[in-house]
Amino acid sequence: MSARAVPFHCPFCGEEDLRPHEAEDGTSPHGSWECHSCLRAFKVSMIGQLRRPASATSSSTATGGAR
């Protein structure tokens, strides 16, 4: 997974008019974006990966894997 993944839609209004957000002092916090449709700024960050439940992995391997 890339550390520079770009969001495709605003999480608030769903529009696609997103641009990197820069603070007034010229700094650009990592993962900050602004939506020019609803005029909101937001930050995207990855928390981590989830572990698959043991029942989901064992049932898919028992039936022959993914479809």
pLDDT in tens, 42-61: 998 888 889 999 885 555 55
pLDDT, mean over the chain: 81
Backbone angles phi, psi at 18, to 5 degrees: -105, 145
Residue range 22-43: average pLDDT? 88
Sequence-ordered strand ranges (E) for the chain: 18-20, 32-35, 40-43
- With 80 as the cut, is the pLDDT of residue 13 above it? yes
Closest CA to 40 of 64, 65, 11: 11
- Percent of the chain at pLDDT exceeding 90: 39
Cα–Cα distance between 6 and 67 in angstroms, integer?
29
Q: What stretches of 1-67 show up as alpha helix (H) in DSSP?
A: 54-62
Residue range 29-50: average pLDDT? 90
Q: What stretches of 9-64 show up as alpha helix (H) in DSSP?
A: 54-62
